[in-house]
Amino acid sequence: MIHCVYHPCYSQLVLPQNHGFPITKYQHLYQQLQRHPQQHKLRWHQPDAAPLAQIERCHHPEYLHQFLGNRIAAAPLKRMGFPWSEALVTRTLTSVGGTVLTTELALEQGIALHLSGGYHHAHYDFGSGYCVFNDLVIAAEVALTRPAIHKVVIFDLDVHQGDGTAALCQSRPEIISCSVHCDSNFPSRKQRSDFDFGLARGCQDDDYLQSVSEALALVTRLHQPDLLIYDAGVDVHHQDRLGHLSISNRGLRRREQLVLSYCLNNNLPVACVIGGGYDRDPEALTHRHRQLFDAALELL
């Protein structure tokens, strides 16, 4: 049985016609998984909005309340990447709640998958690059309140560096940030993660998977985490609009198999979020995100 977390509000956001964010992908992925030949092995969970106290563990209270009350100025709102709406507030808080729930399920069940999450550009007091609050660090913080959890690794394979995560983790020695990304890509000003693997543009499957494998082995052996939060962004794909790496569909599948099998073989609970992925073709994009679920279904 694989535990999956989803809420319909993830895709319920009206955006301007030319907006670059593929808001429908969450719903498409959910619908495709409902029709999956092995859908009987998927157990669905619907999250609630994260309590504000959880968000305040990682974000400036003034930023949180400015966001809730539509008081963010035009320039920082533009940097965040979404026009403000009540639906954005609901979606944002529920996505954070979803990643927290996914980590709780992973700690109980060994693995859990979230059909949202990976808002790794969100910083302490501002949002950036379609990210409002850093669900990864918030969920790690909540997990660390359990007596048996001493260290959490955030393993970020989205093509963009997890700069918000890196900055937030600099004062959190119990949360280890590891980012494998395309070096010459957004954000132009990188932050220092605990482990950064900056790859050259055009990097292909074999070199990429070698780096992922080395990064995963290094960070887990050095830090012996009790939980791994995995950002499985698919914007590493060669056809992604915002990527610049050259990873094939097969390479993506191998990556998900590699990460999940490593965690299962090492009894390391793994909470997965789908992260970034930008393609105007919803079918193609859904197929890329689906590799994570197919790899999990194949292993369990």
Residues in contact with Zn ion by the rule CB under 5 A:
158, 160, 233, 235, 276
Closer Cβ to Zn ion, 235 or 279, answer by number? 235
Q: Which residue in the shown chain puts its C-beta closest to Zn ion?
A: 276
Strands 227-231, 195-199: parallel, antiparallel or unpaired by DSSP?
unpaired
Closer Cβ to Zn ion, 47 or 243, answer by number? 243
Compute the distance between CA of residue 224 and CA of residue 212 in angstroms, rounded to an integer: 17
User: Cβ 104 to Zn ion, closest distance in Å?
Assistant: 25
Closer Cβ to Zn ion, 104 or 240, answer by number? 240
Closer Cβ to Zn ion, 91 or 160, answer by number? 160
User: Cβ 216 to Zn ion, closest distance in Å?
Assistant: 19
CB atoms < 10 A from the CB of 58, how many?
27
Q: Which residue has tokens 């979803």?
A: 98
User: Cβ 96 to Zn ion, closest distance in Å?
Assistant: 18
Closer Cβ to Zn ion, 22 or 276, answer by number? 276
Closer Cβ to Zn ion, 129 or 269, answer by number? 129
User: Cβ 191 to Zn ion, closest distance in Å?
Assistant: 15
CB atoms < 10 A from the CB of 210, how many?
11
Q: Minimal CA–CA distance to 131: which of 175, 102, 107, 167?
A: 167
User: Cβ 288 to Zn ion, closest distance in Å?
Assistant: 12
User: Cβ 67 to Zn ion, closest distance in Å?
Assistant: 21
Bridge partner residues of 111 (DSSP): 270
Closer Cβ to Zn ion, 45 or 186, answer by number? 186
CB-CB contact of 112 with 5 (8 Å) = yes
Closer Cβ to Zn ion, 98 or 243, answer by number? 243
User: Cβ 271 to Zn ion, closest distance in Å?
Assistant: 18
User: Cβ 71 to Zn ion, closest distance in Å?
Assistant: 28
CB-CB contact of 162 with 129 (8 Å) = no
